[in-house]
Structures are given as structure tokens and as C-alpha cells.
Structure 1
Amino acid sequence: MLDIRYVRENQEAVAQAMANRNFPWDAAKFSELDEKRRAAIAEEEALQAQRNKASKEIGALMGKGEKEAAEAAKEEVRQINEKLEKASAEREAIDAEMNDILVGSPNLPCDATPVGKDETENPERRRWGTPRDFAAEGFEPKAHWDLGTDLDILDFDRGNKLSGSRFTVLGGAGARLERALINYFIDTHVSRGFKEWWPPVVVKRQTMFGTGQLPKFEDDAYHVGEDQFLIPTAEVTLTNLHADEVLDAAALPKRYTAFTPCFREEAGSAGRDTRGIIRQHQFDKVEMVKFAAPEDSDEELESMTAEAEYLLQQLELPYRVISLCTGDLGFSARQTYDIEVWLPSYNDYKEISSCSNCGDFQARRANIKYRDPANFKGTRYVHTLNGSGLPAGRTMAAIIENYQQPDGTIKVPSVLVPYMGGMEYIVPEA
């Protein structure tokens, strides 16, 4: 959520930032409401002062035995209370309207975020690895949905039969590969300083609000129970672990990781992504979340991105890193790096991880603060960061396509062989 004081004091900068994000920010409306709010508060305070003065006079008049004058003073207090009640209601209505604006507005991009209108203007930062030249090897690569079906490790028909479109059943070595990837990701993160958690996948409305999924993206979420939701990512639960808490500066940064299934009712637009396991309503993902002091969050974003890159390097999957421009930035983020893995079926790079610094945007919504007595009095909001590390499904698709062999088998990346029980190739089951 935006800081109302910052918005009030930097209205031109906020208006420009929102224009860069292609967000319809009504600066005039905000200013009008802010002025009305100030006037309403001033009226409340004036009426409260009048009431306090009249109330004191009642006691003094009663002590003097001047009952008639005291009754008149009581009537004055009653009339003041009526005016105060009306003024307070008006101020609360203005507060609610301003809160709706602040809650419904996206985060402000930081200076490091490039300005651009949409995804076509996302600058590339670096590449790692070289896409495999299948033509030089003398065969045409297949898409993962064809390979997976041929090997009987991906079953789209039965997924559709059980649950509908955008659901897939994994069988045999496919199920084992999914499990191997999850364990490998978690083990790697833990060995590199992340604390593992095993959170629930059903959360309250406030929990979804805390990370910015609600109210804006409610139509994309799976609603369950009386007023609960299936999480779209473990970012929701990991970040809200410290909702309404005050952390000690000495304990920062905190680095967390968790595996969860993720659920997204809106799984992307129609097109090529509807095939295979790139966009699913249910998928498995290992998530990274950090809590950092504001002065350290930029550095923590770089290290988080490097963490996701390390996994792809160990899997020997070619990828590139891009910076999301202002017009493509996610709702809660102030800066984001997308990591895109090479997929032969697209003859292009496809997003596999998104690492974001949200600044204090989520911390304000979830009320997550920290104290640092050596440097300031009271408390301040922490900065939160999140990143995929990695989604199992998209990684599996990348492995199937990049490691396919001329005979239709799949070579298992060397780092996963121990997690696959020594299996070096995925072959058709007898």
C-alpha cells in the first residue's frame, strides 16, 4: 500500500510514476479528497475543543447551583455531539475513499526500474548458456507435450477427465522428476542460508490482502470455505508469517523458502501456452521470500536473482535475465528481474522465475515492521522480496525439451540423478 504522506508530499512524482505504469491515477481526485480530509479533521478538533469547554462549564455551574445555566450548557453539548457525529462520519467516509485509492494503486517503481510501455520494452541484462543446435545433431526437436505423452509421463487427457482443462496428471518417471526437482530446489536453498517452511495452502482474506493479491486479483483466485482462498504462490504465506509483528534489525535479513502447490483460476490468455504444462491452474513451486532493512533490499534482490540463476546453471539450462519496465511491472513490485529459460518448442526464452523487491508496499498492508534502537527511535516498515526458485512444472518442461535425445528418451541432468534414484535416462515404461 502506498504511503499517504509520501503521496501527499510528492504528487507530481507519483503522477508521473503512475503514468509510467499505465495506471489511471487521478491526481486531482486525490488532492480534493486530501483537502476535504484536512478540513474534516480541523472541524472535528474544533468541535471536540468546544465540547470539552462546555463540559467543564457544566461542572462549574452545577457547583454554583446554577441549574438552569447548567441545563443550557448540557443542551449545547448535545448539539455539539450531533455536529461532531456528523463531522466524524464525513471524515470516515473520506478516509474510506482515500484508503480505497491507496489500496487499489500499484507500487511506485524505483529509480532502477526502466521506463517502458509494455513487455516489448523490457531490456535484457545478461544471458547464460547456449541453446542446443538440434539441426547439427540431425533431428527435429519435439515439444514437451508430445515427448511427455510418448513417454507416458504427462497425461493431459486424464487430467482433463479428472479436473478440466489446464490440469495434468504426471505418471511414472514424470511424477518422480517433479518430486526430484522440488527436493533439489529446497535442499539447495537450505544449504545456501534459507530457512525452510511448510505452510498451509488455504489462507484468510487478510492474508491475501497483505501481499497485494486482494482486492485487485480476487477474480483470479480460487475461493474456498466461508472466506478463504487457495494460495497462488507461497509468497502469500511466507510474507504473512510476520504480519502484525515487529522484527529486530539484528535478525535481518531473514531468508525463507517453501514448497507448495499453487492455484490460479486465470491461467493465462488463449494461445500456445494452453498446450503442455507452462500455464496450469494447479502447479508446484518452490518460493523464496526475504525480509530486509530498506538500505539492504536492493542488494538482497540481486542475490535472490542469483540464487534462481544458480539452480538453472546447475541444471545446465540456457537462460536470460531481463528487467521488467514500468509498464510490465507487477502490482506489488518496485523492481523485478525475470529469468527466462530457453524452450525449443517456442524457439525462444520463456519466463521461469520472477524476482521482485516490493519495498515497504506489502509491509504496510501486512503491518510488518522492525526496530533498530541504535539508529532510530520507534519502528519502521521492513522491505519484502520474493522470487520463484523454481516452479517444478516449467523446469520439467525445459528439461524434457532441452535434454531430449534422437530416440525420444530424456537425459536426466546430472545434479538430479541422485534424486531420481540413479536414473540417467527417462525411457518408455514397459
Structure 2
Amino acid sequence: MNSLTARRAVWYWNKNGKPGRMPFPNPPRAFEHKFVPDFQKLQQNRDAIVRSCQLRGDKQADVNKVMQLHDRWTTLDAEIQKQTTARMKSASVDEAREVKVKINALTAEHKETETELIQEASKIPNEIHPDAPESTPRLVYTSNHPISNDVVDHITLGKELDLFDLQQCASVTGDKFVYLKNEASVLELALIHWSVNFLIERGFTVVSPPDLIRQRVATACGFSPKDSDLCLTGTAEIPLTALYANRIIPDEIMPIKMVGFSHCFRMEPPSNTNKGIYRLHQFSKVEMVMICKPEESERRHQEMLEIQKEMVEQLDIPYQVLDMPVHDLGATACRKYDIEAWMPHRKGYGEITSLSNCLDYQSRRLGIKYRYESKPHEEFYAHTLNGTAVAVPRVLCAILENCQSEGKIHIPKALHPHSMGLKEIVFK
């Protein structure tokens, strides 16, 4: 490590719980990054990207318009260079003034075209992984845990055991907010501490992100917040990924692996199937984010999926893994896996985690690059991935309903070191 890198080092926790040193990227600048589209890829893969827009049902993106604007922008750029050269060779002052007027007009049009080009290009969604299903989810894996519907649902348990209070919270805050109480509150803390510790042991660095973010940061990550300079974040993915906005990461410290706990805020539509605490406007969640080199992102995606499966296995709940179809990817993801747990109160499976590979969609909008020490003058856009570690209310539903026997709720053994002595909840 050279002296400059050493001065940029920060302390972090390693898997043994001891402080270590890790080189850090260059100091950040204020986030004002202009999206840089990959026009070469857009030109080469035009048909595939048009099909991506069609399969996603995206009616705003217009690939042909973007390429027409890019052609116009390129033509104007070349004409400006030509007129600038002509001005330098002008035979008289009057001729030079005439050329300058042309240059000013061309420059104004060039700037307007560039603004429209970036605006239209930013509407184009990510490309689609060739193995992603087009219409319906593909079942990838089903656990061998036994499934039972002969249980007491979490809504009844919450009322009888005073585990949470939706009614009082509705009068204090509004519908779809909750007070977690007693054993449910203890389990929330246990799930957070267990999951963060689990990921630290696997090389993730723990980060406590803010719950408020600037609108332009959320937009750069592929979200569409309402008009406001500051907005509540719907997931820790946004501030965690933006921690490296406008930064150039030394290749030797990649991949960047982060785990963060935050409160998430969602505008959820009303639904008769989402009763109890399964879907809330505010909830606690632990999130994983990884920033890696492009050639590694598919392998890292599978690595993160195996981590999620291992975590759900330790919670002793039945689950299945789905490869999600194109219309469920949103604009940012190239491919997405969901893990669904068996939810007796829903009489079916319900999503508890998702895991997305966003390729360079976010990094081009946030300005996240990396650089090789051997090539200090070349910079490359990184790939970003994000996935749920624990969405607390949904995992609580799954534990309360799936871990019942003999009138007791048996707390998963993985949580015992973190549950303040709570190992079971008696309800009969």
C-alpha cells in the first residue's frame, strides 16, 4: 500500500470482530452527476433493447428517437469543430465574426439536443438477461421443510399475545403502520442483529445509512420519488449504493460488499390479500449491496442468492426460489430472483427477499467507476447488485406461523444468541 492510499484508509470490522485497515476511494464530490449512456451498446444491441422495452411494457422509452438525437448531436459536434477550425483560418475580422455567430448558434442547438438526448436516454430500461423468463416466474428451488395450514395465523397471535397493535397505530399515524410489542419487538431486534452479524462474517462491511435522500439520488438509482428535494427512502439499496457515487474505486478492493439496516417507506396500494403486518408503509429491513467488476456480476449474483438461501434455511421456514419474469424487473434490473416463504394466512407463498443484478444501470447514473493501478488513466463503470437480507415484518409472519407446535412458537435456534433469552412463545 503506497503512502497516498494509506492516508485514505479507514477502519472497518473484519470477520473476527477485530479492527482492520481497508483502502478507500478518492474523497467524494457533491452529487451532481450527468448520466452517461452507452451509445455504442445501444447501437449494437438496438433490436434487443427495443424488445426489452416491449416485454417490460415500457411505453415511455423510445430507442429510435434516442439514436436520431444522438446522430443529430454527433453531426452538430462535428460541424462546431469544423467551424472553429474555419474561424482560426479566417482571412479577415469580419469573416471571423460571421463564423463566430454560426458557432454560437450551433453550440446552442448542440446543448439543447444534448439535454433532450440525455433525458430520453435515461428512460431506456436495463437490458434483459437471456435466461430471464418472459411471462411467468420460473421455479428454481423448493425447500424440503414441511408445509402446514393447520396453524394460528399471525393476526390472531398478534391480538391474543399482544405482539403488535395495528389499530392504535392507525389512530396515531395511519393505516398500514404498526407498533411491534413484547416478543415481536424482541424478535425484530434479534433478526436485525443476527442478519448483520451473519453478513459481517461473510466479508460484508456494516453501514448505517440515512433514511432521507435527495430526489436526484433516488432517480439515479432507478426510483421515481415525488417532487421534493428530500424524500424518505424505500430501501437501503439507494443510500448504500450512493455511498460510492462520483467515486473511483481502486480495483484491488473490489468487490465492495455492504450490509445496512434502515427503515423503509412505501406507498403500498390497498389489498384484501395483504392483511396483518405482511405489507406496511414503514418497516425495518436489512439490505445487502455489492459493487463489482462487470465480468464478476453474474457470479456475484449467484453468490448472493446462496447467502439468502442459507439465511432462510437457518430460520426453519418453508420457501421457494423464483427467477422473476421480465415484467417484474422494473427499469433497473437485468435479472431478479425472489425468495418466497410459505404464509399460511395467505394460503400460499409470499415474497420475503428479492435480489437484483443492475449491471451498469445505476453506476452510469451515479458515476461509480473503478480503476486498475496498472492503468491509472482509464476508468470503467462498475456493476451494482442489491438484495434483501431480512424484511422484518414478513419474516416475523413466516416465523410466527410456520414455527408452531404443541401450543408454542419455537424461535429458530439461529436467533437464540440474539433474542435476549427468548426461545419460545406459549399461546395455548
TM-score class normalised by the smaller sequence: 0.7 to 0.9
Paired position in structure 2 for 1:354: 354
Conserved? CA contact 2:147–2:342, under 8 Å: no
- 1:410 deviates by 2.4
Paired position in structure 2 for 1:36: 72
Quick one: which amino acid aligns to residue 99 of structure 2?
A: I
Quick one: which amino acid aligns to residue 81 of structure 2?
A: E
Conserved? CA contact 1:141–1:344, under 8 Å: yes
Equivalent pairs counted in the alignment come to 392
Paired position in structure 1 for 2:225: 218
Conserved? CA contact 2:250–2:373, under 8 Å: no
* Cα-to-partner distance string for 1:174-226 (whole Å, 9 max, x where unaligned): 1111111111111111112111011211122332133221xxx224xxx76xx
1:125-136 paired onto structure 2 within 5 Å: 125-134=140-149
* Cα-to-partner distance string for 1:115-173 (whole Å, 9 max, x where unaligned): x13xxx11111111334335xxxxx4232122212211110011101110110111111
1:242-281 paired onto structure 2 within 5 Å: 242-264=244-266, 266-273=267-274, 275-281=275-281
Paired position in structure 1 for 2:290: 290
Query: Closer, same or farther in 2 for the Cα pair 1:401/1:336, shift >3 Å?
Result: same
1:382 maps to 2:417? no
1:87 maps to 2:106? yes
Which moves more between the two structures, 350-359 or 419-428? 419-428
Quick one: which amino acid aligns to residue 31 of structure 1?
A: M
SS in 2 for 1:104: coil
- 1:405 deviates by 4.3
1-structure distance, mates of 2:63, 2:242: 31
- 1:108 deviates by 0.8
1-structure distance, mates of 2:378, 2:366: 18
CA RMSD between the two structures: 2.1
SS in 1 for 2:234: coil
Paired position in structure 2 for 1:62: none
Conserved? CA contact 1:198–1:259, under 8 Å: yes
2-structure distance, mates of 1:287, 1:426: 28
* Cα-to-partner distance string for 1:213-254 (whole Å, 9 max, x where unaligned): 1xxx224xxx76xx1111111111111111111111111112
- 1:428 deviates by 6.4
2-structure distance, mates of 1:254, 1:164: 38
1-structure distance, mates of 2:388, 2:129: 21
SS in 1 for 2:122: helix
1:333-412 paired onto structure 2 within 5 Å: 333-374=333-374, 378-405=378-405, 407=407, 409-412=408-411
- 1:338 deviates by 0.8
1:169-248 paired onto structure 2 within 5 Å: 169-213=179-223, 217-219=224-226, 227-248=229-250
Equivalent pairs: percent with the same residue? Answer: 30
Quick one: which amino acid aligns to residue 168 of structure 1?
A: V
Paired position in structure 2 for 1:20: 55
Quick one: which amino acid aligns to residue 271 of structure 1?
A: N
Conserved? CA contact 1:4–1:102, under 8 Å: no
Query: Closer, same or farther in 2 for the Cα pair 1:53/1:375, shift >3 Å?
Result: closer
- 1:269 deviates by 4.8
- 1:373 deviates by 4.5
Conserved? CA contact 2:86–2:99, under 8 Å: yes
Conserved? CA contact 2:52–2:125, under 8 Å: no
Which moves more between the two structures, 19-28 or 238-247? 19-28
1-structure distance, mates of 2:295, 2:377: 17
- 1:258 deviates by 0.7
- 1:416 deviates by 1.6
Query: What runs of 5+ residues in structure 1 fail to find an aligned partner?
Result: 58-72, 135-139
Give the TM-score normalised by the residue count of structure 2: 0.86
Quick one: which amino acid aligns to residue 255 of structure 1?
A: K
SS in 2 for 1:345: helix
SS in 1 for 2:356: strand
* Cα-to-partner distance string for 1:385-407 (whole Å, 9 max, x where unaligned): 10000111111111111123464
* Cα-to-partner distance string for 1:59-92 (whole Å, 9 max, x where unaligned): xxxxxxxxxxxxxx33333332222222112122
2-structure distance, mates of 1:45, 1:375: 30
Paired position in structure 1 for 2:416: 417
Conserved? CA contact 1:339–1:352, under 8 Å: yes
2-structure distance, mates of 1:28, 1:425: 60
Paired position in structure 2 for 1:68: none
1-structure distance, mates of 2:215, 2:88: 41
Which moves more between the two structures, 188-197 or 369-378? 369-378
Which is richer in helix?
1
SS in 1 for 2:277: coil
Conserved? CA contact 1:268–1:279, under 8 Å: no
2-structure distance, mates of 1:130, 1:33: 55
SS in 2 for 1:417: helix
Paired position in structure 2 for 1:105: 124
Paired position in structure 2 for 1:10: 45
Paired position in structure 1 for 2:13: none
* Cα-to-partner distance string for 1:320-364 (whole Å, 9 max, x where unaligned): 111112222122111111111111111211111111111111110
Query: Closer, same or farther in 2 for the Cα pair 1:270/1:74, shift >3 Å?
Result: farther
Query: Closer, same or farther in 2 for the Cα pair 1:81/1:427, shift >3 Å?
Result: farther
Max Rg structure:
1
